[in-house]
Chain A
Amino acid sequence: MGFLKILFSNSRPIRKIGQFHASHITFFVFSSARLLSFPRFESTNILKQQSTKLAEIDDDCFLQVMDFPGGKVPITTQMKFIAESSEKRLPCYRVLDDDGYPIPGAIFEEASKELAVKMYSSMVTLQTMDTIFYEAQRQGRLSFYLTTAGEEAINIASAAALTLDDFVLPQYREVGVILWRGYPLQQVANQLFGNKFDFGKGRQMPCHHGSNELNYLTVSSPIATQIPQAAGIAYSLKMDGKEACAVTYFGDGSTSEGDFHAALNFAAVLDAPVVFICRNNGWAISTPINQQFRSDGIASKGQSYGIRSIRVDGNDALATYSAIRAAREMAIKEQKPILVEAMTYRVAHHSTSDDSTKYRPVEEIEHWKTAKSPISRFRKYLQINGWWSDENESELRGEIRKQVLQAIQAAEKVEKPSLTDLFTDVYDKMPSNLQEQVKFVKDAVKRSPKEYPSDVPI
C-alpha cells in the first residue's frame, strides 16, 4: 500500500480581494466562496450530493477518496479511459406504437378526448397550412417559406403541455406553437406577406413570427442565439417568483454553436427554470447528424452540464406531451433547467431555397413521410378510441384548406406598411436625424410622385 496523499481543502470562506482559496471551486472563474459564506447562499446541495454518492460506491477499484476543488472524488489505481460512447445508446421514451396503440406498460399523461382532438386538429391545420404556403412560394406569391413537415407532433404536443405564461423562444420551425397559443391563420399570412397588419410591420423575412401577447419571442435568424436568451428570461422569471418557465426550441445543428454550450452551462449554474427542447430531425440543411457531432445525440450531453435530460420519440404526440408536461413541472418546482431531445425526421426540404433530394435518397424521405408520419399515428390513436372518423377527417381538411386559401387571398390584397414605418422603432423615441430623414423623404415624394411606388402608403 503506497503512501496516500489526501489533500485537505481550505474550508474557511475567503474574502480576500483577488484570491481564490475557497474549496469547492467549480471549474469556472465563478467564485465559490459564495457556496460557503452562509448568509448569502443556500446552495450547499453540491456538498450533500457528493457525500451521498460516495456512500453508494462499492466498486473494488475505489479504495479511498481524495479532495479536490469541486468535491471529493473516489480514486482508482486502474488507468481506465472512459469510452467515447457508451455501449448502449440512451433509450427513447415512447407511448404509442406505429399503429397508434398505447404500448402495454407505457407510463404517460392522459389526454382527454377534447384535448386530443384539439391537438390532432391543430396538427392537421399546421400541415395543411404549410403545404399551401409552400406552394404559394413556388408560385411566386411569397419570397420564402419553411415548413414543419414531419415535426407537427413536436410543435403541437409540446405547445399543449405548456401554459400561456411560459415564455417561448423559438428557432424557426415552431409556428405550430404560436398557432396553438391563438395566433390566427390570417396573422400567419399577414406576416408572410409583410402587410400592414403584420405585428412585425413588414420588417422581417417570412416565417419570423412573434407576439408579445402570446409570450412568443420574435424569430431571429442567427442560429442558437435564443438558447442563452432563454436562460436569461428564465432568470427573470425566477427573480419575479413566477410559476412559469422559459421554453426554447432548437435543432440538432444548433447544438454545435458556442451559444448552446454557454447557455446550458450557465442555466445549470444559475438554477434557471428553463426547458431546452432539441428537435433532432437528423439534418441541418445538408449536414447529417453524424457530421454534426459524435456524441450520442443531444440528450447525452445534458449530464455534462449537470442537467436532467430525456430522449423522447418526437413523432409520438402523446409521449411528447407527457414528457414536456413533466419537464415543465420539474423546471418550475425545482427551479432548474431540463433538456428534452425529441427525435424526429425533417420530411421536407430545409426551406424553399433547398432541394434535399440532392443530398439524401428520395426513398428515405418517402418512408418518413408516410410510414412514420406523426399525424397518421395520432389519428390512428384517436380512431381506436372512437374519437375520430373519416368524415371528421375530410371535413376538417376541407375546412382548413378553405381558410388558408382565404387567408392568403386576403393578406395579398392588404396594403403594405407605410413609409414612416421604415424609420420607427429603431430606438424607443425617433431621434432627430431620423425625423429629418422622414421629412426629407416625404418632401421628395411630394416633388416627384410618379417615381414613388403606388402600393406603399405614406
Chain B
Amino acid sequence: MFFHIVLERNMQLHPRYFGRNLRDNLVSKLMKDVEGTCSGRHGFVVAVTGIENIGKGLIRDGTGFVTFPVKYQCVVFRPFKGEILEAVVTMVNKMGFFAEAGPVQIFVSNHLIPDDMEFQSGDMPNYTTSDGSVKIQKDSEVRLKIIGTRVDATEI
C-alpha cells in the first residue's frame, strides 16, 4: 500500500555547494540519495513530495562538510502482512509463481495456490484449474493476500 510519511535525514554537504543555490543543492542531493531506496521500516521510497523543514547546519570538526537535518515528505510503498493487493505475474515455475506489485516482488508458493490448480509446464508454464476455467501465467493479473515480508539488501 502507498503511504505518505514524514522522514528525517541528516544530509552532509560539501562547501562547493554553498552559496545562492544551497537549498536547491541540498534538495537535489536528498532526492538523489533517497528516491529509489528501500528500507525494512518504511518500504520503498517512491518519490519525495516536499521539504517540510531544513534545520541549522552544523559544521563538522576537521572537515568543511556541514550537516543539515532535513525533514521531508515522501510517498512510500510498503506491503503489509494481511494486506490484499493486485499484482502482475512475472514468472511461473513448479515451486510457485513470482508477481510484481509496483516496485515490490512477490512470491507465491505452490502450497498456497488452491489445490485444484495444477502446474502445467511448457512454452508458457502456468497453473490451471481442472476445468480449465482459470489460468495463472505470465502477465496474468492476480489478487493476493500478503502473508510475510522480507527485505533483501542486494536487490535495491
Bound pair (A, B): no
Instruction: Tell me the B residues contacting A by CB distance below 8 Å.
Output: none
